[in-house]
Amino acid sequence: MTELETVDPQERFQEFFKTEKYRERLSQMSITGKTSLVVDFEDLLTFDQNIAEKVLETPDEYLEHANNAAYAQLQIEDPEYAEKIESVKVRIVHLLESTPLRKLGSKHIGKLVLVEGIVVRSTPVRPMVMQAAFRCKRCGEITRVEETGQFLRAPFACSNPSCRAKGPFEFVQEESTFIDSQDLRIQERPEDLPPGQLPRALDVKLVGSEIVDVARPGDHVSIVGVVRASAPTLPKVGKLRTFILHLDANSIEVLGKEPETVLPSPEEEKKILELAKDPWIHRKIMNSIAPSIYGYDHIKEAIMYLLFGGVPKNLPDITIRGELNVLLIGDPGTAKSQLLQYVAKVAPRGLYTSGRGTTAAGLTAAVIREKGGGMTLEAGALVLADKGVACIDEMDKMRPEDRVAIHEAMEQHTVSVAKGGIVATLNARTAVLAAANPALGRYEPHRTVAENISLPVTILSRFDLIFVLRDVPNKETDGKMSEHILEMHRKGTSPTEPPIPPDLLRKYISYAKSVKPVLTKEALQRLKDFYLSMRSVSETEGSPVAITARQLESLVRIAEARARAALRKEVLAEDAEAAITIMRRSLEEVGIDVSSSKIDIDIIMTGKPKSLRDKLQTVLSTIMKLEKETGMVEKDALLNELENAYNIQRAEAERLIGQLLREGTIYSPREGYLKKT
């Protein structure tokens, strides 16, 4: 045992750097111009377990040995470059296990740990003094001081033996050495959060030109570093007894914006590929989505398409989004929130937020003033859910000024911020699944969608699919549903087992995202025929517009998502047919003009069906005609004229006039008289 203890750690490290892999890495340093050497922890562990454990326990001492050994080895490999850079920094990556942020505590102080999280804010890169040079004002001698800690320390006395003055000193910038530094704040990933907990955050200090400016807000990172505790200082009182933890980073890796594409293990990959061969795969996936919720097949189908998503197209002049947006409007008690929360759980990266408690800054990005007086950006929900799904519940309860923030994210998939001197555009390639309640508590089938929900038309038109969940009494379905619910309460488990377990489903979705299906000629023809046939309905004068180019893009996205769900490289005619069926279902539920029962997309695009617009036009033209004759139009004369000439009943005419008055198209100069504005 005594022999082992006498082994010099530096010699051991140097033997480790003599292995072929690290000799190669050292000799490549001069080519890339780097001053640090990346070491895989697993390599160190297989080489010498004792030393690897010491690095974790007392990193300050052992990393110093490692730095010296790496430099000594570099002097052998490339003496010229070694002379030029003077020191080598060893950066350790891939520790065996990561420590969750909420588990970091006093027992970790001074230890080397690996933490993972999302960067929520980062400061600009600032130079920091490593060795400060001070000039004595009496004799002009320069004294150098190695700086540690937060504050700049002057020397205790002049280093000139004949002077030895205690000051005054001045700082000499040219003679001092600096290094780049940056502070990050990382937060727990939304998918790691225990329910009902606030996400914990940790400050990370990065020092060294090779690790600063690597990560930006919104990136998922894994950081290896030494845990430190520092006591905050209060003015005139001194240091506090409770310390604050932060991390001195040794290495940082960006895990990418992609949701954790945890590569499935070979067995899982085999399972995934087997599942994809099943001709009924779509039915299986739909049955695995929220199995405890009874029925709603078409909505589960829409959610399946939303989870898989279409393929985004980046053209030189425009980008076309690939993600789908789905809106569910429904009576109270139709399990909307349950569906949303399930989707947020099963999506590879999902966030759930609800109406009233959501602000524009929380959804997009907040500009926060730092202690130092600068401004930084903090990413909001839609930015954090980039490449994932954002579930927004109770969308109709949001304040209108906050809801406007979602417009851009839904169509352009970016979030633009211009405040506090920060002008930035962040990515928010997020699929939005939203739920809203009807304005009057229940959905009124004889009123249009725009009248039923208090959502602006601008938002409605950005949803690819809109469904209405109506709670209509029906003996047969009610019987089945009550059995389903009561059985669930009796057993305490879901009455139907999902064909694909949630963990495998999440991996399946992640895996499928790498497939980029292409439209085949047959699929293209089907979509084209459907689009043209729907448009041709609108060609006759006076008939409503049934479908617009936005819906055609939605059809393509849905067809691509269906092909992707079966891991197919091309979109077949059957995918196009399924997309047309579900789009037709959505249009029939929401885009029907109640009075003429024709499909009218303008209900979603403009909020008024064609029949209503025509009648409003009639009322307006009559007012203008009578205005020419009498100046001001008497209301009674107008009502009579409308009834006799156009057969519009008095009650309906009153309603139309009321609507025009509300919109400000006409006004009432005095009681009983009307005039066009």
Find out whether the peptide bond into 232 is cis, omega within 30 degrees of 0.
Answer: no
| Nearest Cα residue to 429 out of 314, 561, 550, 290 | 314
Question: Is residue 383 within 8 Å of residue 426, measured between CB atoms?
Answer: yes
- Helix (H) or strand (E) holding 22, with range, is helix 20-32
Quote the pLDDT of residue 162. 84
Question: Residues 6 or more apart from 490 whose CB is under 8 A from it?
Answer: none
pLDDT given at position 471: 80
518: enclosing H helix or E strand? strand 518-519
Residues 267-285 pLDDT 10s:
888 888 888 888 888 888 8
The confidence score (pLDDT) of residue 592 equals 57
DSSP 110-148: TSEEEEEEEEEEEPPPEEEEEEEEEEETTT--EEEEE--
CATH of domain 101-256: 2.40.50.140
Q: Domain limits of the chain?
A: 2-93, 101-256, 266-589, 610-676
Helix, strand or coil for residue 565? helix
Q: Where are the beta strands (DSSP E) in 288-430?
A: 313-314, 319-320, 326-330, 350-354, 365-369, 375-379, 389-393, 414-419, 422-427
Q: Identify the pLDDT of residue 1.
A: 42
- Asked if 207 and 149 count as a contact pair (C-beta separation under 8 A), the reply is no
What does pTM read for this prediction? 0.70
Q: Which residues of 567-598 are buried (b: 16+ CB within 10 A; e: fewer)?
A: bbeebbbbbbbbbbebbebbbebbbbbbebeb
| Contact between residue 645 and residue 622 where contact means Cβ atoms under 8 Å apart | yes
Classify residue 360 by its DSSP letter: H
Amino acid in the structure at residue 446: H
| pLDDT for residue 3 | 46
Q: From residue 276, how far is each of 10, 298, 563, 603 by CA, in Å?
A: 54, 21, 10, 39
* Placement of tokens 């001197």 in the chain: 421
C-alpha–C-alpha distance, residues 672 and 661, integer Å: 13
Query: Which secondary-structure segment (H or E) carries 532?
Result: helix 521-537
The CATH architecture annotation of domain 2-93 reads 2-Layer Sandwich (3.30)
Amino acid making up residue 120? V
Which residues have C-beta within 8 Å of that of residue 569, sequence separation ≥ 6? 515, 516, 517, 518, 563
Q: For the chain, which residues score pLDDT lower than 50? A: 1-4, 541, 594, 597
SS3 at position 514: coil
Q: How many degrees, rounded to 5, is the angle at CA 483 between CA 481 and CA 331?
A: 25
Please check whether residue 297 is in contact with residue 290, taking contact to mean a CB–CB distance below 8 angstroms.
no
* Residues 618, 344: Cα–Cα separation, whole Å: 48
How remote is the C-alpha of 276 from its chain's centroid? 28
Alpha-carbon distance of 337 to 333, in angstroms, equals: 9
610-676, CATH topology level? Arc Repressor Mutant, subunit A (1.10.10)
Q: In angstroms, rounded to a whole number, what is the distance separating the alpha carbons of residues 139 and 501?
A: 78
CA–CA dist 677, 485 (Å, integer): 57
> What is the CATH topology of the domain spanning 266-589?
Rossmann fold (3.40.50)
How does DSSP classify residue 106? Answer: G
At 615 the pLDDT is: 77
Tell me the C-alpha distance between 224 and 70, whole Å.
19
The pLDDT of residue 6 is 59
- Do 2-93 and 610-676 share a fold? no
Q: How far is CA 64 from CA 10, 59, 60, 88, in A?
A: 9, 8, 6, 10
Could you tell me which residues are beta bridge partners of residue 469? 330
